[in-house]
Structure 1
Amino acid sequence: MSERIYSRIAGTGSYLPEKVLTNDDLAQFVDTSDEWITARTGIRERHVAAEGETTCDLAYQAAIRAMEAAGVTGADLDLIVVGTTTPDLIFPSTACLLQARLGASGCGAFDVNAACSGFIYALTVADQFIRAGTVRTVLVVGSETLTRMLDWGDRSTCVLFGDGAGAVVLKADRETGILSTHLHADGAKKELLWNPVGVSAGFKPGEKNAGVRVLMTGNEVFKHAVKALDSVVEETLEANGLDRHDIDWLIPHQANLRIIEATAKRLDMPMDRVVVTVDRHGNTSSGSVPLALDEAIRSGRVQRGQLLLLEAFGGGFTWGAVLLRY
């Protein structure tokens, strides 16, 4: 029997645009307040991409930092997978645009769109390629410019999102790495959190921004998210024969502090073992998990050998988890 191959995180990186938009800034042009936003979401500020700064620009900055940490160059990459729901273009993919900037010509490159679960999905895909033995070094990125698709007059959505990117370099390893991945979706609930336009449906020629915007039924999304994340956490623990107390760190999607706290409570995990960035980043969609992961590693909180549980929930609905030994 052949020895199992794992996908080990060899390096991480992240990037946030320079511009910071606080809750007080938002209150200048929408009917809201710092108190209202913080009480309901835990968000105090978020970063906003500059004019002309694209999803690929953010992805590139995060990618080069992850590659430097891993000690690899573009020529070393066998595959690039980018999780995003806000690509620069319909085609070519953001991954292809990123590949050109990194000098990684010839390797496979594609995007994965699973909304806020995009990085979890992308990491799972990359892990499967490494497990199959077809590649050895993969760059996985979650990058978003969600603020480009917001209705800034809709306080139920515009206060939630920010821009940012995170990246990891995975390398094939015989000893440690990703232990299991778990993906789920429920397209029947799409209209609880969605963007109602696209290329082949809902597009209205001549309409400003083609009507692109985020629509969300917040209370329903909250209930479904908590239930789905509870379920996938239990599934992950059972699949690996683990107890919830075996987890060293929970690194969740940063959408809402109340959802994060509910998941931590389910795990009986104190909040000082949960990585929280939502207060400073807002919801960066597929960028949120790798951003939080990179921050936790670079701050020294997450150490080699520790057991990490990554999880996310997003529009689709999509949700999933990754358990890994860092």
Structure 2
Amino acid sequence: MHPEGIHIVSTGTALPGPPVDNSALARRFGASDQWEEWIQLFIGTATRHLSVDLDTGERRNSLADLAELAGRRALDSASLAPEDIDLLVMGTATPDRLLPTTASVVAERLGIDDLPVFQLQSGCTGAFQALSTAHQLLGTGAYRRALVLGGELNEKYFDLGQDFGAMRPEQLINYVLFGDGAGAAVLAADPEGARAVVRHSSVRLTGLGRPAGQILEWFGPADRTSDRIPAVEDYKEIEASVPRMSREILDRLLSDLRWTPEDVHYVMPPQLSGRMTRKVLEALALPGAQEISCVVRTGNTGNATPFFQLEQALDLMSPGDRALGISVESSKWIRAGLAIERV
């Protein structure tokens, strides 16, 4: 049974550098005007923020840099000191290193010590996994406050020397879909200062027997010259599966909560791209719920995205309003959901 009465106290987010529009991407990679039009028509994302300077190739931020900033903003917003946190959980698919974990590095930078720290390696549902883990652990009564983090540094999979004309579509799409960023939230068992209560959280693996829809390779010293493609998206399968799976998550959330569609005031849909968001919203069929989206502006920031959505939702929601967050991870087809209510 999911614990009740776990509260969201604050959020914080961080983006690197100025927004990079489609024209800037096209110019950097020597692409044609038709390529820019293809992004707008088939992807629907206008800008994204990158930790790498496209002109010089210089990396300006690490994931730890962005997560530290987001975490500090969440703590400051909640008027909390590092010693007020007794649990830290982070979700990411792109940690700075295998070891030490990015979560541990961020904890040290924030001055947080002598507490459980977890880093969950996962794709788009990693933030939901981190939130759900904190939700469950706080519900045991063993902890008071948790700092939950999520973020990505997708640019490490960009090869700025690539010949775009020679790239396969499943490689090319990664250059236009993704952006970098990080987010954070403070969850607490005590309602003091809370902005919303978590009514439900769920994560379910549903990929038995299904090929992976997204693959990110890791190369070690023994195979660093491998000819494997570092990042691959089966975008056609993702496009077919994500709207349907989003609807399945919605139906499960409504059933578990005993809510009706009319009870949902805000919806935070999966944020693969602007075009995919429209398809997902059509499948969800929640005409009375206001969409909370950021992907057109930020690009797909993976595990940072739900925190950008939460930040927006908490600013918009009035007391009694309810919001649902939905996430689908295509790497091995994971479904995740989150329900909150404004206090």
Query: After TM superposition, is the score higher than 0.5?
Result: yes
Aligned with residue 301 of structure 1, among 297, 300, 316:
316
- Residue type of the alignment partner of 2:212: E
2:339 aligned with 1:323:
yes
CA distance in 2, matches of 1:57, 1:284: 15
Residue 23 to residue 271, structure 1, CA distance change in 2 (3 Å): farther
Q: TM-score, normalised by structure 2?
A: 0.85
Q: TM-score, normalised by structure 1?
A: 0.90
Match of 2:118 in 1: 110
What are structure 1's unaligned runs of at least 5 residues? none
Match of 1:15 in 2: 14
Match of 2:97 in 1: 89
Aligned with residue 78 of structure 2, among 70, 73, 95:
70
Aligned with residue 289 of structure 1, among 273, 291, 306:
306
State the SS of the aligned residue for 1:13. strand
Once the two structures are TM-superposed, the CA of residue 253 in structure 1 deviates from its matched residue by 2.9
State the SS of the aligned residue for 2:210. helix
- Superposed, 1:220-259 pairs within 5 Å as 220-259=237-276
- Residue type of the alignment partner of 2:98: I
Q: Deviations over 1:138-168 (max 9, x none)?
A: 0111111011113554322211000011111
Residue 206 to residue 258, structure 1, CA distance change in 2 (3 Å): closer
Contact 2:88 2:148 in 1 (8 A): yes
Match of 2:140 in 1: 132
State the SS of the aligned residue for 1:269. coil
Q: Deviations over 1:241-288 (max 9, x none)?
A: 111121111112321233322333344334971012111111101111
2:326 aligned with 1:311:
yes
Contact 2:246 2:284 in 1 (8 A): no
CA distance in 2, matches of 1:303, 1:92: 41
What are structure 2's unaligned runs of at least 5 residues? 53-58, 165-170
2:217 aligned with 1:196:
yes
State the SS of the aligned residue for 1:303. coil
Residue 187 to residue 286, structure 1, CA distance change in 2 (3 Å): farther
CA distance in 2, matches of 1:44, 1:131: 40
Contact 1:166 1:294 in 2 (8 A): no
CA distance in 1, matches of 2:224, 2:263: 55
Residue 184 to residue 103, structure 1, CA distance change in 2 (3 Å): same
2:76 aligned with 1:55:
no
- Residue type of the alignment partner of 1:35: E
Residue 58 to residue 106, structure 1, CA distance change in 2 (3 Å): same
Contact 1:194 1:316 in 2 (8 A): no
Contact 1:251 1:308 in 2 (8 A): yes
Aligned with residue 285 of structure 2, among 268, 271, 279:
268
Match of 1:178 in 2: 198
- Equivalent residues, number: 317
Once the two structures are TM-superposed, the CA of residue 213 in structure 1 deviates from its matched residue by 2.4
CA distance in 1, matches of 2:47, 2:139: 39
State the SS of the aligned residue for 1:312. strand
State the SS of the aligned residue for 1:159. helix
- Residue type of the alignment partner of 2:8: I
CA distance in 2, matches of 1:190, 1:109: 32
- Residue type of the alignment partner of 1:321: G
CA distance in 1, matches of 2:328, 2:293: 16
CA distance in 1, matches of 2:284, 2:262: 7
Match of 2:172 in 1: 155
Once the two structures are TM-superposed, the CA of residue 190 in structure 1 deviates from its matched residue by 4.6
2:225 aligned with 1:207:
yes
Match of 1:6 in 2: 5
State the SS of the aligned residue for 1:116. coil
Contact 1:150 1:214 in 2 (8 A): no
Q: Which deviates the most, 310-319 or 149-158?
A: 149-158
CA distance in 1, matches of 2:223, 2:306: 35
Once the two structures are TM-superposed, the CA of residue 102 in structure 1 deviates from its matched residue by 0.9
CA distance in 2, matches of 1:183, 1:30: 41
Percent identity of paired positions between Structure 1 and Structure 2: 26
Residue 242 to residue 63, structure 1, CA distance change in 2 (3 Å): same
- Residue type of the alignment partner of 1:319: R
